[in-house]
Amino acid sequence: MLRKIIIALISLATLIGVTVVVISGYLSPEERPAAVAAQETRLSITGGDIVGYDNGRGAWVWRGIPFAAPPVGPNRWRSPQPVESWQGIREVLTDGAECATWGVMFDRASTGVEGSEDCLYLNVFAPAGNTEPLPVMYWIHGGGNRYGSGGGELYDGTALATRFQVVLVAINYRLYGLGWFRHPALDSGNPEDSSGNYGTLDQIAGLRWVQDNIALFGGDPNRVTVFGESAGGWNTLAMMASPLAKGLFHRAIVQSGGLTLEPLSVAENFVDDERPGHRLSSREIVNQLLINDGRANNPDEAKSLQYETSTMELAGWLRGLTAEQFYTAYHQVRDEQTFSFPDLIGDGHVLPGAVRSQALFSNTDNYNSVPVMLGTNLDEMKLFLAFNPERVKLFMNIPVGFHDLEQYNRVNRYSTDEWKVNGVDSLAAALRGAQGDDVYAYRFDAMDLRDFGLIDLRDLFGAAHALEIPYVFGNFPRPMRVLYPDSSSAARRQLSDSMMSYWAEFAYNGHPGGGRDGSEVAWTSWQNGDASSLRLMILDSSSGQGVRMSSERLSVQDLKQRYFSDDNFESQEAYCQGYKMLFRGADFIEQEYAKLGTAGCS
């Protein structure tokens, strides 16, 4: 999604006559000399010998290290298999392939598969020549579990590794239907193979690789911090929830995350079953695949064929399909309401059975208890609203204005606050009650963005989803700098330094404290008690209100109270739809919904 933003904003800059110098970086491989193998980086790891390179900025780097066998052919939809050994010295100088998925994120007009099924690779960044065991920071990228990779300039770990003396690992994992797909035909009797949570298993396999190998890179296997953003945040919580990840990591940082575990019925059943499945459930996708292959003429015939065909035959046929054939079925079946599936599956083995996350994390018997940081951004939802033609005026897919800025901000505020309630406040309260005072929370508020005149990016994005990532990694790739005016450079760097310092101190000692050198604003733990207690770190730049602690706390009831008193929605229909979007599952109360507004909802 950041790639789409950058392209659009470069176009906007050109459109209104702003000169922007763009050197390829985040959008494509940076134009710099090719990495040259450095013999001092040679190591003997699981699988064989490797050699990386010295990046000339104080780090030794190894890119594209295999941590499991390619999940292709008979290994598709199986738990990760042991890495295949190689002969001689393997040069690991470039990122491994991104995992296969369909098209470009959020671009429904795109067609075709991008990436490769042979994608289980990771990157390592370490201070050059380090000989002491340093904390390990294990990055799980975002992208809705449908897109992205652990490579690229944005996730370059050099700044964290060299300035704060850590070893950074960034992984790939299987995506979309190749990463999360539970079908009865794939039930081999092995609960891991049958779980459907293959992407989750990849992340656990990466942690096992760290335990086996990271000491060779100067990392301490007893101080591993899992951290990730968006889907990476969900997956970080999944590592806390999975009994298979127990003991493999020791701290967790959840950026813009949350955790939803789908029931087996939703992941697997037909939509017309007594316990209905999702429109993109495995049964429905296989129906479409059988029709596409000419083996059935309609869904009813396909459904009968699924029941009549032996599991061995059906599994073999599914594994024999190309990724293009498989993902074409998803593209045919999905619609605007089905983009968000598949989700993590509550299979009862890799992950607990479907349970509300607050209940899961209220008892340390249920999960892997480690010190944890949770956070969201002030304007999460603006990233998703910024290119919505119902909310913004678009010219050649470029946002050039708002239909109604007040309504744009209203939708963002409710949706973002709901994210904070479920992804931070309610989780922090549950975790604090279960494991004590090693729970920390933040909100990222910085919006050091450019005003193009035609449109102000502080209105369009604010502190949007994912915009904290450059601050955490200390990387503002050159094309991305179109977002920021030169005048904000010092403030951005100062905040980035503070955030990296907090993140690194947490990796060292399990609390962010005053950062690595103790000079930052003291970050204290989450408090469940008095409403005036300081419990939330606000991460803002000096051009805003600065870094500070706050007593802010939100609940579902706070959100409902505000919603019920709000009479400024565009229409009764919008008011009803907003309630359904915000208050799902156990928070949806039929009596409230029926009496909502002036006319009620049905």
Q: What is the CATH number for 308?
A: 3.40.50.1820
Residue 336 confidence class, pLDDT cut points 50, 70, 90: low
Residues 405 and 295 in one domain: no
Residues 123 and 140 in one domain: yes
pLDDT at 9 over 80: no
Per-residue pLDDT at 67: 98
Residues 91 and 209 in one domain: yes
Task: Please return the burial class of 217, using the count of CB atoms within 10 Å of its CB with bins 0-12, 13-18 and 19+.
Answer: buried
> What secondary structure letter does DSSP report for 423?
I
Residues 513 and 572 in one domain: no
Residues 527 and 588 in one domain: no
| Rounded (5°) CA angle 345-346-347 | 95
Q: Would residue 483 count as lying in a domain?
A: yes
For the chain, the domain total comes to 3
Task: Please return the burial class of 571, using the count of CB atoms within 10 Å of its CB with bins 0-12, 13-18 and 19+.
Answer: exposed
Q: Would residue 505 count as lying in a domain?
A: yes
Average pLDDT in the 337-365 region? 86
Q: Across the strands, what pairs with 62?
A: 124
Contact 465, 377 (CB under 8 A): yes
> What secondary structure letter does DSSP report for 467?
T
Residues 215 and 309 in one domain: yes
DSSP helix/strand/coil, 577? helix
Distance CA 438, CA 511 (A): 7
For 44-96, how does the pLDDT look when each residue is reduced to its tens digit (9 = 90+)?
999 999 999 999 999 999 999 999 999 999 999 999 999 999 999 999 999 99
Where is average pLDDT lowest: 3-12, 149-158, 323-332, 473-482? 3-12
pLDDT at 21 over 60: no
Domain hosting 290: range is 34-370
* Dihedral over Cα of 174, 175, 178, 182: its sign: positive
For 477-542, the DSSP string reads: -GGGGGGS-GGGHHHHHHHHHHHHHHHHHHHHHSS-BT-TTS-SPPBPPP--S-TTS--EEEE--T
Q: Would residue 486 count as lying in a domain?
A: yes
Per-residue pLDDT at 168: 98
Distance CA 242, CA 366 (A): 9
Per-residue pLDDT at 13: 57
Per-residue pLDDT at 29: 43
Per-residue pLDDT at 340: 58
Q: Across the strands, what pairs with 399?
A: 394
Per-residue pLDDT at 91: 98
Contact 254, 382 (CB under 8 A): no
Q: Would residue 22 count as lying in a domain?
A: no
Residue 27 confidence class, pLDDT cut points 50, 70, 90: very low
Residue 20 confidence class, pLDDT cut points 50, 70, 90: very low
pTM beyond 0.85: yes
Q: Would residue 571 count as lying in a domain?
A: yes
For 304, the token pair is 């009968």
Helix boundaries (H) for 253-356:
264-268, 282-292, 299-308, 311-320, 323-333
Residues 477 and 561 in one domain: no
Distance CA 77, CA 146 (A): 16
Give the neighbor-by-neighbor strand order of the sheet with 43-45: 43-45, 48-51, 89-91
Q: Would residue 2 count as lying in a domain?
A: no
pLDDT at 499 over 80: yes
Contact 71, 78 (CB under 8 A): yes
pLDDT at 149 over 80: yes
For 169-213, how does the pLDDT look when each residue is reduced to its tens digit (9 = 90+)?
999 999 999 999 999 999 988 999 999 999 999 999 999 999 999
Q: Would residue 24 count as lying in a domain?
A: no
Distance CA 246, CA 204 (A): 10
For 429, the token pair is 């309260």
Per-residue pLDDT at 24: 28
Average pLDDT in the 360-384 region? 97
Residues 120 and 174 in one domain: yes
Residues 401 and 283 in one domain: no
Distance CA 64, CA 144 (A): 22
Average pLDDT in the 241-263 region? 97
Residues 131 and 173 in one domain: yes
- What is the residue-averaged pLDDT of the chain? 92
Distance CA 147, CA 172 (A): 10
Residues 347 and 442 in one domain: no
Distance CA 272, CA 284 (A): 10
Residue 19 confidence class, pLDDT cut points 50, 70, 90: very low
Q: What angle do the packed helices 405-420 and 556-564 form, to 10 degrees?
A: 160
Residues 466 and 342 in one domain: no
Cis amide leading into 342 (omega within 30)? yes
Q: Would residue 9 count as lying in a domain?
A: no
Average pLDDT in the 443-463 region? 95
Give the neighbor-by-neighbor strand order of the sheet with 536-539: 53-54, 59-66, 121-127, 167-171, 134-140, 219-229, 251-255, 372-377, 439-444, 536-539, 548-550
Per-residue pLDDT at 25: 33
